[in-house]
Amino acid sequence: METQKLPVLDAVEQRVLGALMEKSRTTPDYYPMTLNGLTAACNQKTSRYPVVQYDEGTAALAIDSLKKKGLVSTVVGGTSRVVKYKHNFAIVYPVIPAEIAVICLLLLRGPQTPGEINTNSGRLYNFESIDEVQAVLEKLADPEMPYIIQLPRRPGQKEVRYMHLLGGTPEFTEENFIDEPAGKSVSDLENRLTKVETELAELKEDFDKLMKELMG
């Protein structure tokens, strides 16, 4: 029997799939989802990293691509004629609800620590403890069929983080961590702020000179 392989999804496909996984659990009354509802779910300001602003055309293209990969299917019928969509991830791959919850969180929020997964998973799956989360992570990272990967630990980092492999296997270098160390981020912001303040001061000086010339 040939080993299953994960598809390589682009960022929009990942967000659409993650949103369908999430809403199937958190808002079952509105699932399967319309294109409008799914687009809104992709663009949520909360529980998303990064925050995006897709239009329905962008979401529709991703849906078509996911349908060709067998990960999304169309639902039509009932009292409404509106086409709706649902994910088939648990049909295509042998995963259980706890595992789907972890994959969903990683798709929607980016790399997470076991503690973050335990905290953020409440509406998707009720883990009994962080040990249960760790057990699920280890199963999903099984080399025989890995869905996720443990990221290299950064200097000073206490907890390891995990990311999904639905965007392909990442190449690790010192420069390409998903988020920068806090100190570097703050330093970058301070440098940019200083630059902006300097430019504003120069613009003000030029403006004052121009006004003096005009008044004179």
* Residue-wise pLDDT tens digits, 155-201: 887 889 999 999 998 876 554 444 444 444 444 555 566 666 666 76
Residues 151 and 187 in one domain: no
Residues 213 and 142 in one domain: no
Local confidence band at 208 (pLDDT 50, 70, 90 cut-offs): confident
Average pLDDT over residues 42-49: 96
Domain that holds residue 198: 180-216
CB 3 within 8 A of CB 146: no
- Total tally of structural domains belonging to the chain: 2
CATH of the domain at 122: 1.10.10.10
Q: Flag whether the pTM goes above 0.85.
A: no
Single-letter amino acid code for the residue at 195: K
Residues 89 and 126 in one domain: yes
**Which range is least confidently modeled, 5-9, 82-86, 95-99, 185-189?**
185-189
pLDDT of residue 46: 94
Q: What are phi and psi of 163, to 5 degrees?
A: -135, 155
Residues 92 and 30 in one domain: yes
Residues 105 and 204 in one domain: no
CB 107 within 8 A of CB 14: yes
Tokens (6 digits) for 10 = 């682009």
Local confidence band at 127 (pLDDT 50, 70, 90 cut-offs): very high
> Is there a domain that residue 45 lies in?
yes
Q: Mean pLDDT across the chain, nearest whole number?
A: 87
Average pLDDT over residues 47-66: 97
Closest CA to 145 of 1, 6, 32, 52: 6
pLDDT of residue 169: 87
